[in-house]
Chain A
Amino acid sequence: MNNNRVKNGTMDLSYISLIGALWYIPIFTVIYIGIFLIFGSGELDNLSYMSVGLNSNRIFMLVMGIIIGGGFIKWAIGLGVTRKQFHKANIYSGAMMSVALTITMIVLGLIIGLLPFVGTENIQHNLDMHPVMNLITVALQVYLAYLAGSLIGIGFYKNGWFGALAIVITVVCNFLSEALDPFLVNALGLAEGAGILITVIAVIIVLIIVNRYFIKDIAIKI
């Protein structure tokens, strides 16, 4: 029964993200195609649908994280879900959506890429691992953005100081993966991008722990 509550929470939070994605993806696609129709692929050839989409997924998931983190905790507690169960549902839902959104963008990228007037180059130059590892890294970056958004949402729900702290943590986490990549690649002799993958995984673990800490004793406002 208790695991059901985590499962139900995961499904419900994913449904909310899905509704958001159903708005986001068409709007993004229309804007992308519109820009290429206006400016032409000559100017913007380095912007493929997939590469731009995978980057903007991060922004979308950051926003969804903020909305869900701060906006649904009261709803969950009201339904008899504990803070811990909500936290679990939130991280599972974020993970599911990150994977789903990444796959969707790749599939749509392949379809949109058939259009003669869109960009073709991938701007993810800093990922030079096996393509599967590159995709895993991109999906994890999207997940990291979700967790960062969730932290900001929960932080501001808790109080302004925690919200501000969440923003600081988010900014640091964002810089960290890019900044540490060359250092890790040189030190461990890995392919370019492996440092990002390692750092992103580490930061995700940190964000999951900090999210849990923020939510642990959060007071529900009425």
Chain B
Amino acid sequence: MVNVEFRDVDLRIRKEVILQDVNLTFEPGKIYGLLGRNGAGKTTLLSLIATYRKVTSGTLTVAGENPYENEDIMPLVDFLHQEDYSEESTTVEDYLKLSKRYKSSFDTDYALSLLDEYNINLKKQMMELSRGQQAAVDASLGLATMSPVVLFDEVTNGMDAPSREKFYSQVLNAKNRENRIIVLSTHIVSEMDYLFDEVIIIHHGKVLVDEPVDEFLERGYQVTGNASDIDAYSKDKRVVKARTLGPTKAAAILGRLSDEDASLMEEMNLTYSVMRMQDLFINMTEDRSGKEHTHEQQ
């Protein structure tokens, strides 16, 4: 079983701090959602696991060993990210053969079955495929390598909605999933949240959140009820979003629901619901300096 561990990892490029004090553990059998705003450091974090870069300080291990320039460990990791195939004359079929030659664990039949779902013509050159089809090839190859660590960085970019749905289904049903770490770095939180077992949020190069989805969703909630009751209930709470429709108001509140809050809600006849992951993510990573903390929408 292969684990990936970051211990006090820093990455500086020239004098700029890109990642700071990163402590994370990735375990087999789980799908991780890696979230973060543009430039937060998601891709850089993944590129460290794939040894595209060397950590500046701290310890990064894959299967207990430093992966950097480690010929036994590097093949255990697959990093799929957006590629420019505009001049790539290699056919899809040749890509499969190439993967098989370099990765003995590559399952060609599985790759063919995954590609078949996207109706990809294997005889076509990569540059002849649409961006969505190229992304589908990448996604399929990533799953079919059977590597214990698969890192998908915005891999669905360019795919249309049906293709994205297919990919999500393929991830959930991935072969040998119980022994593999799958990391999905994405901006499309609303579509993928149901896939995640754990959520990691990177913000300004630091780990803001690293916890199971259930726990993460407890970081905020939504209450609905009479507008004046909502105002009374939420006056000392951090309301991140509120909507009013006639006498009814819905407020999204950041913070865990205490027993006291729950009884108060019952007394006031307010309805509780879970906050959407995307809303939580947006609100937690919003830089609020000089901005209003509450967005009122009428």
Judged by a CB distance under 8 angstroms, whether A43 is at the interface is: no
Judged by a CB distance under 8 angstroms, whether B196 is at the interface is: no
Judged by a CB distance under 8 angstroms, whether A158 is at the interface is: no
Bound-state CA distance A12–B71 (Å) is 18
With contacts A2-B72, A79-B98, A84-B69 known, is A222 near B104, CB below 8 A? no
State which of A82, A84, A220 has its C-beta within 8 Å of the C-beta of B52. Answer: A220
Bound-state CA distance A77–B48 (Å) is 12
Judged by a CB distance under 8 angstroms, whether B32 is at the interface is: no
Q: Is the CB of A5 within 8 A of B53?
A: no
Min CB distance B243 to A, Å, is 40
Judged by a CB distance under 8 angstroms, whether B51 is at the interface is: yes
Judged by a CB distance under 8 angstroms, whether A1 is at the interface is: yes
With contacts A78-B79, A84-B69 known, is A8 near B51, CB below 8 A? no
- Chain B residues within 8 Å of A82, by CB: 69-71, 74
Bound-state CA distance A81–B101 (Å) is 12
Min CB distance A25 to B, Å, is 20
Interface range on chain A (Cβ under 8 Å from partner): 10 to 19
Would you list which residues of chain A between 47 and 94 have a CB under 8 Å from chain B?
77-85
Would you list which residues of chain A between 1 and 36 have a CB under 8 Å from chain B?
1-2, 5, 8, 12
Judged by a CB distance under 8 angstroms, whether B181 is at the interface is: no
With contacts A78-B79, A79-B103 known, is A2 near B71, CB below 8 A? yes
With contacts A222-B43, A222-B47 known, is A80 near B52, CB below 8 A? no
- Chain B residues within 8 Å of A2, by CB: 71-72
Min CB distance B97 to A, Å, is 11
CB-nearest residue of chain B relative to A74?
Answer: B52
With contacts A79-B102, A82-B70 known, is A222 near B81, CB below 8 A? yes
Interface range on chain B (Cβ under 8 Å from partner): 20 to 34
Bound-state CA distance A206–B98 (Å) is 33
State which of A5, A219, A222 has its C-beta within 8 Å of the C-beta of B102. Answer: A5
Most chain A C-beta atoms within 10 Å of own C-beta, residue among B52, B77, B99: B52
CB-nearest residue of chain A relative to B81?
Answer: A222
CB-nearest residue of chain B relative to A221?
Answer: B52
Bound-state CA distance A173–B75 (Å) is 37
- Chain B residues within 8 Å of A78, by CB: 50, 79
- Chain A residues within 8 Å of B79, by CB: 78
- Chain A residues within 8 Å of B75, by CB: 80
Q: Is the CB of B69 within 8 A of A220?
A: no
CB-nearest residue of chain A relative to B101?
Answer: A8
Q: Is the CB of B103 within 8 A of A219?
A: no
Min CB distance B193 to A, Å, is 25
Min CB distance A87 to B, Å, is 11
Min CB distance B153 to A, Å, is 8
Bound-state CA distance A220–B13 (Å) is 13
Min CB distance A16 to B, Å, is 11
Bound-state CA distance A78–B145 (Å) is 12
Q: Is the CB of B74 within 8 A of A220?
A: no
Residues of A within 8 A of B (CB): 1-2, 5, 8, 12, 77-85, 217, 219-220, 222
Task: Give 25 CB contacts A-B under 8 Å.
Answer: A1-B104, A2-B71, A2-B72, A5-B71, A5-B102, A8-B101, A78-B50, A78-B79, A79-B98, A79-B99, A79-B103, A80-B74, A80-B75, A80-B76, A80-B102, A80-B103, A82-B69, A82-B70, A82-B74, A83-B69, A84-B71, A85-B71, A217-B54, A222-B43, A222-B81
Residues of B within 8 A of A (CB): 13, 43, 47, 50-54, 69-72, 74-77, 79, 81, 98-99, 101-104
* New contact pairs (6) apart from A1-B104, A8-B101, A79-B102, CB-CB < 8 Å: A8-B102, A81-B102, A82-B74, A84-B69, A219-B13, A219-B52
Nearest 6 pairs of A and B residues by beta carbon: A80-B75, A220-B52, A79-B102, A80-B74, A2-B71, A219-B53
